[in-house]
A = this chain, B = another copy of it.
Amino acid sequence: MRSSDRRQREKEQRKTGIIDAAERLFFFRRYEDVSMDDIAHSVELNKATIYLYFENKETLFATIVLRGIQILGEKYQECMEKQVPGIVKVALMGQAYYQFSEEFPGYLRLIHFYGSERFSRENPYTAEIGKGYGDCRRILQDAIQEGIGDKTIQADLDPFLTSMYLMISFMGTLSLENRWRLVVEAEGFSYGQFTSEFFRFMMPAISSGDKSRTLDAGDFAASGFFLTEPLAPDKRKRKKQ
């Protein structure tokens, strides 16, 4: 029964092919502007064939979103494994989100859109995606806990709540909604500056006051954190008159 093995493999490949094609389309067009027929045409299959592999359009879309979430989760895991103080891990995770948004803007867009009420919560993939996001948050929470342990993070912060606030703020700041992006750029800031300064802004909220444990930019940079150059007064708001 070797051939049935191969058949199984081929089936998997076909499924992957469909996801790949759909992904290419969703990355460049809005969800509602990509029809199942478009996708079918793109993989050179009949629309009905796609329905042999995916329950519906939402499920297919969710599968793509899950790909993105998994990549993000791996990035978080990598940050956690570094041998650095807790607060630096937190900073690295924020930076990981930023890097993810630069490397995979398509996935980020899709992830955020999937968070909108457009998608039903019954979809079995929704739970899995939620779990994926939850894992990321959990890793962040562990980093915070570690920071409290090594005294680089305020002891009176609740690790769960703090991880939620940071996660939500990361998401909001990096949601590629052009709405905000345009506002930021209209004020003369680059999006990179915007996110960099965000970390600087948040730091006092989490950093412990413990002077002996206070880290300077150099400590962060040595750990691979590159978003630390402070905004020179002449670099900000150049466009404002």
Interface of A toward B, CB cutoff 8 Å: 30-32, 109, 112-113, 115-118, 121, 130, 133-134, 137, 157-158, 160-162, 164-165, 168-169, 171-173, 177-180, 183-184, 187, 189, 194, 197-198, 201-205, 231, 236-237
Q: Are A236 and B158 in contact (CB under 8 A)?
A: yes
Q: Which residues of B contact A165 (CB under 8 A)?
A: 169, 173, 198, 201-202
How many copies of this chain sit in the oligomeric assembly? 2
Partner of A118, one of B118, B173, B189, B202: B118
Closest 3 CB pairs of A and B: A168-B172, A172-B172, A116-B116
Please, how many angstroms separate the alpha-carbon atoms of A187 and B162 in the complex?
13
Give the Cβ gap from A104 to chain B, nearest Cβ, in Å: 16
Please, how many angstroms separate the alpha-carbon atoms of A240 and B221 in the complex?
37
Most chain B CB inside 10 Å of its own CB: which residue of A116, A157, A177: A116
